[in-house]
């Protein structure tokens, strides 16, 4: 088990380095001089510019800059913005908003997605099944911003069921509608995956055995089918949590949630490299950790691939 974890961690390191370097390189390829931009119209004295460039390691070659950045990262230092704020301070408040949003969306996927999937999977070919299948296809097809605005206008504004924007009402109320919108895509995939998996497992030989043992239908489905069926679903849900954290830009924008996605998006436009790289690094880290956790969980759920 520990050797497996160690091996996976070892595999994750080049991926982490590659991904963060890629982001780092792209951000620093952004045109324009951030130091000049900082000063606005007024030209800075060359000495000051040089000092600042030295401070932000801008005079070094890209690779050296990156290594210095990594060195700071290892000590828990995400760097500082060009106007002197610590990147970790800029992100900390935003981080909680995004985490709450992602968690809400994830819970929707988990509860409603699996619920719908089980419901449809047990009744393959029925009206319920067709409805779930059609509904989820539709949700997958409608781009998230269209869905977001429609939900905001209809459910929030016209029907007044939810707060339309902002975070004043706190968790969970303010996050319900955005969470639903953000989670809708994943929810659809979870429902479809669950449905297929359940329907497939219901035809498995061991399900026939379970009936032959004289078990009730509830027990056959609940104990002998569900666990096997949910293995791929849980894998998906795990990986999707990472995606939700990183993919909330649009939802945060529509519902005016000051999350990490909005921050990064604005920072890109403002060419605030350190913030973009810092936030992206954290996102990649979350993604990799979640993936590792999912791999381990998979081994627990399916004894056939338990590692030593």
Q: Which residue reads 């080049």 in tokens?
A: 14
Q: Which of 5, 15, 48, 64 binds another protein (CB under 8 A)?
A: 15
Closest CA relative to residue 281, chosen from 10, 6, 15: 15
* 33: contact with another protein by CB under 8 A: no
89-128 residues in contact with another protein (CB under 8 A) are none
* 218: contact with another protein by CB under 8 A: no
Backbone angles phi, psi at 86, to 5 degrees: -70, 135
Rounded distance between C-alpha atoms, residue 203 and residue 188, angstroms: 23
Query: Taking the complex as a whole, how short is the minimal distance between the CB of residue 9 and another protein, in angstroms?
Result: 14
Q: Considering the complex, state which of residue 25 and residue 52 has its C-beta at the smaller distance from another protein.
A: 25
Rounded distance between C-alpha atoms, residue 56 and residue 289, angstroms: 29
* 247: contact with another protein by CB under 8 A: yes
Q: Considering the complex, state which of residue 107 and residue 268 has its C-beta at the smaller distance from another protein.
A: 268
Q: Which of 155, 204, 293, 297 binds another protein (CB under 8 A)?
A: 204
Both tokens of 186, joined, read 């994943």
Closest CA relative to residue 282, chosen from 83, 77, 84, 8: 77
* 283: contact with another protein by CB under 8 A: yes
258-277 residues in contact with another protein (CB under 8 A) are 261, 264-265, 268-269, 271, 276
CB 155 within 8 A of CB 179: no
* 29: contact with another protein by CB under 8 A: yes
CB 181 within 8 A of CB 166: no
Rounded distance between C-alpha atoms, residue 308 and residue 304, angstroms: 12
Q: Considering the complex, state which of residue 100 and residue 136 has its C-beta at the smaller distance from another protein.
A: 136
Specify the long-range contacts of residues 218-221, CB closer than 8 Å, at least 24 apart.
221/122
Read out DSSP for 49-103?
HHHHHHHTTTTS-HHHHHHHHHHHHHTT---B-TTS-BHHHHHHHHHHHHHHHHH
CB 181 within 8 A of CB 148: yes
Identify which range of 44-52, 62-70, 101-109, 220-228 contacts another protein by CB under 8 A: 220-228
* 22: contact with another protein by CB under 8 A: yes
The one-character DSSP state at 273 is: H
* 84: contact with another protein by CB under 8 A: no
Q: Which of 153, 161, 173, 289 binds another protein (CB under 8 A)?
A: 153
Q: Which of 145, 161, 166, 289 binds another protein (CB under 8 A)?
A: 145
Q: Considering the complex, state which of residue 113 and residue 247 has its C-beta at the smaller distance from another protein.
A: 247
* 137: contact with another protein by CB under 8 A: yes
* 129: contact with another protein by CB under 8 A: no
Residues 6+ apart with CB under 8 A from 79: 69, 72, 86, 87, 274, 277, 278
Query: Taking the complex as a whole, how short is the minimal distance between the CB of residue 46 and another protein, in angstroms?
Result: 26
* 161: contact with another protein by CB under 8 A: no
* 149: contact with another protein by CB under 8 A: yes
Positions that interact with another protein (CB under 8 A): 14-15, 18-19, 22-23, 26-27, 29-31, 137-138, 140-146, 149-150, 153, 157, 200, 204-206, 208-216, 219, 224, 227-228, 231, 243, 246-247, 249-250, 253, 261, 264-265, 268-269, 271, 276, 280, 283-284, 287-288, 301-304
């Amino acid at each position: 088990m520990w050797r497996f974890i160690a091996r996976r961690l070892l595999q994750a390191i080049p991926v982490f380095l590659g991904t963060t370097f890629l982001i780092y390189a792209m951000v620093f390829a952004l045109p324009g001089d951030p130091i000049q931009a900082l000063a606005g119209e007024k030209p800075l004295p060359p000495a000051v510019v040089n000092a600042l460039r030295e401070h932000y390691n801008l005079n070094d070659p890209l690779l050296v800059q990156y290594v210095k950045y990594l060195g700071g990262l290892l000590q828990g230092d995400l760097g500082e913005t060009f106007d002197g704020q610590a990147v970790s301070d800029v992100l900390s408040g935003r981080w909680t908003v995004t985490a709450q949003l992602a968690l809400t969306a994830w819970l929707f996927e988990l509860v409603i997605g699996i619920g719908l999937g089980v419901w449809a999977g047990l009744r393959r070919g029925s009206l319920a099944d067709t409805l779930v299948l059609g509904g989820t296809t539709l949700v997958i097809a409608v781009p998230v911003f269209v869905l977001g605005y429609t939900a905001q206008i209809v459910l929030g504004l016209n029907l007044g069921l939810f707060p339309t924007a902002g975070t004043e009402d706190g968790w969970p109320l303010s996050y319900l509608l955005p969470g639903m919108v953000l989670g809708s895509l994943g929810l659809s995939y979870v429902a479809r995956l669950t449905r297929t998996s359940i329907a497939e497992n219901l035809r498995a030989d061991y399900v026939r055995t379970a009936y032959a043992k004289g078990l009730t239908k509830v027990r056959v489905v609940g104990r002998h089918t569900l666990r096997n069926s949910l293995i791929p679903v849980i894998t998906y849900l795990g990986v999707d949590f990472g995606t939700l954290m990183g993919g909330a830009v649009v939802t945060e924008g529509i519902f005016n949630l000051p999350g990490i996605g909005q921050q990064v998006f604005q920072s890109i436009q403002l060419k605030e490299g350190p913030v973009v790289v810092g936030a992206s690094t954290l996102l990649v880290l979350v993604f990799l950790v979640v993936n590792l956790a999912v791999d381990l969980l998979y081994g627990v759920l399916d004894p056939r691939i338990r590692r030593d």
